[in-house]
Homo-oligomer: A and B are copies of this chain.
């Protein structure tokens, strides 16, 4: 098993009790400060604030991020070559408006030093408010209660609201509260500078001195500061309004300078009389609008808060989240620890995507600067599928981001000598920003991933208009890229279409020929593009004509795409009986993972790429992911054989792996393994399993949690919008409840050990399949499907050899896969077998 998979509940429950709707910390610790800054962060998809204490210090990384607000810089390649990415893009750590410092008897509150008599910090998933409540005994022995709240608004994405309340419990004292906005530029405290020089390629490089102060202004209660990025010329304004209520006399001061704004309250505080501050903060950003215009936008936002009051926004927040939870909540019966983590995960989906609007969803959401704030395929393959069924409007917004960068993707394709479009592997502004092409630009599969997401959205939502008007260009131009990239080869059965020199999802093997994942996804891309355009020729002629003219489409190209899809080379090794990850994958030596000490994990931080690339060893699911996404292209026997082969050589060094492995383990019937991998995905951040949660949350894995629950344990499949279930509810779970929005109908699903219950809500019915039987769901009528058992319908004999085989039939002896513990016992043989009709065998079970 890999070291990122917890073997028991990995959370210290004394400190973080398992509550159903809150993530709670009951006492302060600074050792995991970086991780808790991320797990307690608040955000709305546009604006994100790390859970730094109001006092500012101590912090692993001060962080306030605005989706898409970035600086650019010329990428300096140590050795340059034609077509290498030119423009670096890094999310900017924007001026910090979270700061509210408190001094009692001129002594500052500093959590790491303070004598805390009581402490609780909580993030509530129902109202989206981060709360802190503590009692501090000052060095002079005075007890002070400090309560604060912080939220970023889902109803007004530019807005963050904070309250801060200080009460002297026993004594009087001079209290100073200093609310600030600081343009700190680097998010790190001095003592953490060493860490930022790390060689970890997944961290963001440090940008210094990015924001040029342009303007600042203050009035009695309001301060506004404006900036411009030196190179990208993006502009930003941040403003704060304050109120204070106190029975004691309050002296107020306000000032702004280019890099700092301060609103200071001086109070001769009396015991038992709270001093309560509110701080409303507005951020506005733009690619081009001048700062003075953003000042006006900030003013309008804050004027509305002044007029409406905080409660208005808190109610709105609650209502927004109620609606979100109505379709997004997943209930797990009998598992309070998992329940909390699942709800936290779904809440993070809201925080990452809620108001991303038409920006992308970054690998870290708005919780950190990891991966420089870039958008990857994570959105399209891990996050969008979860949103499609729970919040289709958010999925649609995420796809619109891809539409917005089509022109840049077209230019990039030309640079790579290809027709059509080639989406950047990582980007903020649409330009390719991957500085290491082997594990970046070479991942051409992103084109198919995006096309896949468009098709999946349209199939599930029924939103054909979006597909015709926006998606068709993406599908057609990506199909074009594939038809141009590959080439025809003579093979035994006639001509085959080959794709060379690409990298699949697994970054421990790069620049290969006929990567299975790529070819399978490209095949889908090509055939979906062709069928969509044929459909449009009939159903949406005007849209078709407009598109054909715009991209100068020759109708013969549609035939070509169909031919490429039909002729696509799908590597299969008859001798070993599996799909090689790429054409020569089985020629490689096997990495002896069992003998690789944990301190050499992840491999990428301890071995030169040349060394890693020489072996059969995976960073993350690759073929296994194809088996999931395109499961109807494979037989259950193939899927099991492939899983048995790849699972022991998959390190899970990427957090994208565990959720997919969980889904496919569940499919095959490796129940314990499915749960283990699920836990590995579920607790990636809450337990900091990859030791880099400090850089930001793993949003793809978080999206994958929903996928693992619904596709894995509930066994959903949805090829071309046809929804089927073949559930595998874990034995210790009494039930699993979730909702699915399918073509405007909301399906409430409740899976128990002996039955699966459906209730459709909406105007129309919908048909679903359960273990080979079809059921028509009528609105308002509950359908109960009894389950004689759960688990694989087809028993597939375990491969005779424990070790991996080479294509020449020799057994690799250098590495004995360490999977014995589960591969015999974990298959739940008493659940087997239920025979299914022949026409259902292929992949659907």
Contact = CB atoms under 8 A, between A and B. Distances in A.
Interface string A137-149: 0000000000000
B490 A82 contact: no
A782 interface: no
A272 interface: no
A78 B81 contact: no
A83 interface: yes
A779 interface: no
Contacts of A81: 201, 436, 604, 608-609
Contacts of A416: 608, 610-611
A75 interface: yes
A771 B442 CA distance: 52
Interface stretch (A10-18, A99-107, A178-186, A581-589): A581-589
Nearest to A602: B82
Interface residues of A, number: 54
A80 B610 contact: no
A415 B608 contact: yes
Given A500-B614, A584-B583, A589-B500, A417 B607 contact: yes
Interface in A571-587: 583-584, 587
B437 A609 contact: yes
Interface in A484-517: 487, 489-491, 498, 500-501, 511, 513
B613 A511 contact: yes
Contact of A75 (B78, B82, B84, B511): B78
Interface string A432-455: 001111101110000000000000
B588 A500 contact: yes
Interface string A412-439: 0001110000000000000000111110
A88 interface: yes
Contact of A511 (B84, B511, B513, B583): B511
A27 to B, nearest CB: 37
A698 B726 CA distance: 68
A619 to B, nearest CB: 12
Contacts of A200: 80
B82 A604 contact: yes
Given A487-B589, A610-B442, A79 B434 contact: yes
A810 B489 CA distance: 8
Contacts of A604: 81-82
Contacts of A199: 80, 82
Contacts of A513: 584, 587
A76 B201 CA distance: 12
A303 interface: no
Contacts of A808: 489-491
A796 interface: no
A415 B569 CA distance: 38
Nearest to A88: B78
A798 interface: no
Contacts of A614: 500-501
A442 B611 CA distance: 10
A605 interface: yes
Name the residue in A490, A501, A808 with the highest tally of chain B Cβ atoms < 10 Å from its Cβ: A501
Interface in A50-97: 75-85, 88
A606 interface: yes
A588 B583 CA distance: 12
A806 interface: yes
Contacts of A82: 199, 604-609
A80 B197 CA distance: 11
Contact of A806 (B415, B437, B489): B489
B489 A435 contact: no
Contacts of A79: 201, 434-436, 440
Interface in A269-322: none
Nearest to A74: B78
A743 to B, nearest CB: 41
Nearest to A495: B810
Interface string A105-128: 000000000000000000000000
A45 to B, nearest CB: 27
Interface string A465-494: 000000000000000000000010111000
Name the residue in A82, A201, A808, A809 with the highest tally of chain B Cβ atoms < 10 Å from its Cβ: A82
Contacts of A417: 607-608, 611
Nearest to A437: B610
Name the residue in A84, A583, A608, A809 with the highest tally of chain B Cβ atoms < 10 Å from its Cβ: A608
Nearest to A203: B80
A604 B606 CA distance: 31
A613 B513 CA distance: 11
A78 B436 contact: yes
A73 B122 CA distance: 48
Contacts of A442: 610
Nearest to A814: B487
A297 to B, nearest CB: 36
A842 to B, nearest CB: 30
Contacts of A83: 607-611
A566 to B, nearest CB: 19
Contacts of A500: 587-589, 614
Given A82-B604, A438-B438, 8 more contacts: A78-B436, A79-B201, A83-B607, A416-B611, A437-B610, A500-B614, A501-B610, A511-B511
The 7 A-B residue pairs with the shortest CB-CB distance, nearest first, are: A83-B608, A78-B435, A79-B436, A501-B614, A490-B810, A79-B435, A75-B78
23 contacts: A79-B436, A80-B199, A81-B201, A81-B436, A81-B604, A83-B609, A84-B608, A415-B608, A417-B608, A437-B609, A438-B438, A441-B610, A442-B610, A489-B806, A489-B808, A489-B810, A490-B809, A500-B588, A501-B611, A501-B613, A511-B610, A513-B584, A513-B587
